[in-house]
Structures are given as structure tokens and as C-alpha cells.
Structure 1
Amino acid sequence: MKTFDPWPVFFHREWKRNCPFLTGFTITGFIITKMTANFTEEDLKNSSSFRNTRSADQP
């Protein structure tokens, strides 16, 4: 006798529920990655938020 395997049912239901979240997370991560990949050292030196972060890291 074949036993019931709940994983396909569970996976299908959870995929439908989480698909919009995963899609949004992927698109947001891609945009942030593309934006930060274009930064140069000069851009980082001129950034006030980067300077504040670096000064907080140093003792």
C-alpha cells in the first residue's frame, strides 16, 4: 500500500503563498547589487554615510 506523501501538496501551497515575496526580494536584491557595483573608491570617499560608518568602526 502506497502511503500519502504530504510534501508535494505542502510545497505547492507554500510556493503559491511565498512567490510574490520571493520575486520582490529577488528584484530588490538585483537592483541594489547593480547600483552598488558601480561605486568607485572616489564615490565612497565622497559619501557622507560611508564616512560615518567608517568612523564608527575605527576606535
Structure 2
Amino acid sequence: MDEKESNPRSARDALMIELIGDLGRVNDQITALPSDIKYAIEGSLSLLLNSKINCDLQKNQLLMIK
């Protein structure tokens, strides 16, 4: 399709234009994945860290009792 022409000439051209737009949206979503994954697991990692700290504190308290 000629760059100067803005309207698609056929249904095929229209579908190709739509596909290119869809690929752009997919690319944007893939680009956002690392930060989305980080955001999704931050809460779990924080809970795990707090649990480990509490376990260590309880272990130390039990060792002092004996």
C-alpha cells in the first residue's frame, strides 16, 4: 500500500492494518511484563521475609529458654 494513501483499498489491506495495530498492543503488553511480574510478587516476597524474621526470632527465644 502506498504511504500517501491512508484508506485501505481492500478488505485484505484493512485486515493487515488491524493486525499491525494488534501486534503493537501485544508488544506493549510484553514490554510491560517485567514490571507487572515484579508488582505481582512483591507482596509474597515481603510476607516470606517477615515470616523468616519471625521464625528466627522465635527460634532464638526458644534457644534462650533452654
TM-score normalized by the length of structure 1: 0.48
Q: Which of 1 and 2 has higher RCO (CA within 8 Å, sep 6+)?
A: 2
